[in-house]
Amino acid sequence: MAADRYQAMFSRLAEEQRGAFVPFVMLGDPDKATSIEIISALVDGGADALELGFPFSDPIADGPVIQKAGIRALANKIHQQDCFEILSEIRRRHPQTPIGLLLYSNLVFHTGLDAFYAKAAQAGVDSVLLADVPLREAEIFQQTAQAHNIHHILIAPPNADDEALKQIASQSSGYIYLLGRAGVTGTETAANAPVKAMVDKLSVYKGAPSVIGFGISNPAQVKAAIGDGAAGAIAGSATVKIIEQHLHDVPAMLSALKAFVAEMKSAT
């Protein structure tokens, strides 16, 4: 069952006394065939779980590196169906790796709420995080996700008050996405939120494990996040930048991605 993969991963990591390293890439970047090899390389490099985006024409929370990844995919005519086909192939190759989607609600509404989650479940997706849905509007997505045995992931922003953290802890399943800082994604600014205080509060409220994202680009930041009590760290822009730097040499790209993941994982 999809609902068990995160649990199994966090249980295994707890036994090993380590945290999770989770890379993010854009589905279909730079093209469908290469995207499958990229995501497989991340798992082969030691990724504990995957966070994957759907290319979208108006990505308000994405920094420039991830925006360009979406533009590359859209330029190569990557549609939603292609994304689901890539996901199905990744699930076939990597049956135990948790797969999370990070996307925008317009893409879900375009397909239809129930139809989108049904397709996601069929493709082997474990969780969905909607970057532009505030807590107060999350209930319908949460219910639909649950109906399809998919974890509904919520973001805990650095300015969240205790009441919001309590709600997030009670409603986010699988894990909680802890924002390392406010703003858009990218490695331009390091994570600077009071991570330890937030992790401690979410733990008191019996929330799912906290995984920190935004501003994670090197092993020292991964180590710091785990040291502050986070159960893992997500790196998006730093991962996608490697793809951008090696667009004309795919074997070198895959090799660099594996090395990057191995280095980041070693810090957990």
Instruction: Give all domains of the chain, ordered by start, each with its CATH number.
Output: 3-260 (3.20.20.70)
The DSSP result for 211-250, as a single string, is EEESS--SHHHHHHHHHTT-SEEEE-HHHHHHHHHTTT-H
- Please determine, for residue 21, whether its predicted confidence score (pLDDT) is greater than 90: yes
Catalytic-role residue among 31, 37, 48, 51: 51
Burial of 111 per CB tally in 10 Å (0-12, 13-18, 19+): middle
Mean pLDDT of the chain: 92
Catalytic-role residue among 62, 82, 126, 228: 62
Asked whether the beta carbons of 217 and 195 are under 8 A apart, the reply is no
- Please determine, for residue 231, whether its predicted confidence score (pLDDT) is greater than 50: yes
- Concerning whether 62 is annotated as a catalytic residue, the answer is yes
Return the amino acid letter for 194: P
What confidence tens digit (pLDDT) does each residue in 79-131 have?
A: 999 999 999 999 999 999 999 999 999 999 999 999 999 999 999 999 999 99
- Concerning whether 48 is annotated as a catalytic residue, the answer is no
pTM of the full structure: 0.93
pLDDT-derived band at 181, boundaries 50, 70, 90? low
Helices (H), ranges, the chain? 3-16, 32-44, 64-75, 80-93, 105-111, 113-122, 139-147, 162-171, 195-204, 219-227, 237-245, 250-266
Q: Is the peptide bond before 30 cis (omega within 30 degrees of 0)?
A: yes
CA angle 250, 129, 27 (to 5 degrees): 20
